[in-house]
């Protein structure tokens, strides 16, 4: 019987490399049996640890190993990302459980992995890692000795013997058959070497499936209106410096539209509702989803309880969520839910579009680019900064009357923001 030198029983597992399984040891003058399952992390010396896929969310059961951020032989620190897992909604990092050197990978890029899957082995001491630099492999090839002269002669002899046979005259070969004539209606396809085939990302496949489900499920209808942006743009121009000085963020146009949408949803609560079987669920809160285009695909982070937020709160939240969406650090919880969506295609120069509803919501507001157009104001034709706005809605739940009234409320509030102050 031997004595465990550690102070606490849970820490004895790090010392079990020098104990045998099922051996009885003394700990605090009590006999303790060493069970085989206590020997964590695979090696007898306790030097190797496994990097495993973390929990990815309640509704996510697997993901695709998108890429490794390190190579075998690279040094990693504790909690340093070594790989990225791409799911239907977000990209998740696999962090190193210990500081050490990556010994080998247990999975390949492109494989489907589940939470708990081992993808890499890390050596805490850095021993046993295999990593050959390109320069080293090239040097080994250059340093390898040339083949013996005898073997070179043996390889050349068959060629010399075959030379006389090659001198025999050959019968003239028949001319190649002419290429088949294409009919006038047959399409001329481009050569395959001018095409590239790349697998769709899980996020792109998820977005495609949801948008197609939206078209198949909802009775989609879109109504339009136009907004004179003069007053909202003047408000931003007059107070942008004071706004930044006090709140630390820039005053944008999106906060004005969020506040206008909140007012419209409160005036027309059916647009904030959703169909559930044979029932209609009315929500007494407003969670606004903001569609954000990222290099990996479309994500829709949510501004929670927008009805209780002012312009500064909304701008700060939009700033934070947009940064997370673009750098891939946004979480599933920050995109879950939402009662109404705003999509701003105007930032890309879109003049007019018909947005598709974000399931399971019932409507989506589309913003577009601001264009100076001649408008009749007070009997005179003057240039005005105008924006087309579109509301796509589920006609099973929302009638045209409610949709038009909602867009009209958006127009009234944006064109005269003082209505928000006076609640009229």
Strands 24-27 and 2-3: parallel
Instruction: Collapse the DSSP code of 235 into the 3-class scheme (helix H, G, I; strand E, B; otherwise coil) and give the result.
Output: helix
Given the residues 395, 412, 416, 423, the one annotated as active site: 395
The helix (run of H) or strand (run of E) holding residue 180 is none
Task: Give catalytic status of residue 131 as yes or no.
Answer: no
| CA–CA gap between residue 45 and residue 40 (Å, rounded) | 10
Report how far residue 240's alpha carbon sits from residue 236's, in angstroms, rounded to the nearest whole number: 5
Query: What are residue 113's DSSP bridge partners?
Result: 63
Quote the DSSP letter at residue 391. E
Of the candidates 125, 89, 82, which has an alpha carbon nearest to the alpha carbon of residue 107? 82
Question: DSSP letters along 306-364, please?
Answer: GGG--HHHHHHHHHHHHHHHHHT---STTTS--SEEEEEGGGGT-----PPP-TT-SEE
Which listed residue (238, 241, 333, 399) is catalytic? 399
The answer for residues whose C-beta is within 8 angstroms of residue 351's C-beta and 6 or more apart is: 368, 369, 371, 388
Q: Which CA distances in Å does 335 have to 203, 206, 260, 392?
A: 13, 14, 22, 21
* Buried/exposed code over 326-346 (b: 16+ C-beta within 10 A; e: otherwise): eebebebebbbebbbbbbbbb
**Angle, helix 400-415 to helix 230-247, in steps of 10 degrees:** 60
Query: Alpha carbon of 254 to those of 228, 259, 291, 342, 366: distances in Å?
Result: 15, 9, 12, 9, 12
Let me know if 395 is a catalytic residue.
yes
265 in Cβ contact with 271 (< 8 Å): yes
> CA nearest 402: which of 362, 368, 345?
362
Residues that are catalytic: 395, 399
């Amino acid at each position: 019987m031997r004595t465990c030198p550690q102070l606490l029983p849970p820490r004895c597992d790090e010392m079990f490399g020098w104990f045998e399984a099922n051996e009885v040891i003394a700990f605090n003058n009590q006999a303790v049996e060493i069970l085989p399952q206590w020997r964590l992390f695979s090696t007898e010396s306790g030097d190797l640890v496994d990097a495993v896929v973390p929990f990815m969310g309640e509704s996510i059961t697997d993901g695709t190993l998108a890429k490794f951020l390190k190579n075998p032989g690279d040094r990693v620190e504790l909690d340093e990302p070594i790989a990225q897992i791409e799911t239907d909604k977000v990209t998740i990092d696999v962090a190193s459980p210990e500081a050490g050197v990556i010994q080998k990978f247990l999975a390949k890029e492109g494989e489907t992995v589940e939470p708990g899957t081992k993808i890499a082995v890390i050596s805490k001491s850095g021993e046993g890692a295999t990593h050959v630099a390109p320069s080293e492999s090239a040097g080994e090839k250059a340093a390898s000795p040339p083949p013996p002269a005898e073997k070179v002669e043996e390889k050349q002899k068959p060629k010399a013997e075959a030379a006389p046979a090659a001198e025999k005259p050959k019968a003239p070969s028949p001319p190649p058959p002419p290429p088949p004539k294409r009919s006038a209606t047959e399409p001329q396809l481009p050569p395959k070497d001018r095409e590239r085939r790349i697998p769709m990302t899980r996020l792109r496949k998820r977005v495609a499936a949801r948008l197609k489900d939206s078209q198949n499920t909802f009775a989609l209808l879109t109504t339009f209106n136009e907004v004179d942006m003069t007053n909202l743009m003047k408000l931003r121009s007059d107070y942008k410096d004071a706004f930044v000085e006090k709140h630390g963020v820039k005053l944008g146009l999106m906060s004005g539209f969020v506040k206008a949408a909140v007012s419209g949803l409160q005036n027309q609560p059916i647009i904030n509702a959703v169909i559930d079987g044979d029932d209609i669920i009315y929500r007494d809160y407003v969670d606004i989803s903001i569609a954000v285009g990222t290099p990996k695909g479309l994500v829709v982070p949510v501004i929670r309880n927008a009805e209780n937020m002012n312009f500064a709160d909304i701008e700060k939240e939009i700033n934070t969520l947009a940064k997370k969406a673009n750098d891939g650090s946004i979480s599933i919880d920050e995109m879950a839910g939402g009662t109404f969506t705003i999509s701003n295609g105007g930032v890309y120069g879109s003049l007019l579009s018909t947005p598709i509803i974000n399931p399971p919501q019932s409507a989506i507001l589309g913003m577009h680019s601001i264009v100076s157009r001649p408008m009749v104001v007070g009997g005179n034709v003057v240039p005005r900064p105008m924006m087309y706005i579109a509301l796509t809605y589920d006609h099973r739940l929302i009638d045209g009357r409610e949709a038009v009234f909602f867009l009209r409320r958006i127009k009234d509030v944006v064109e005269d923001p003082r209505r928000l102050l006076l609640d009229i």
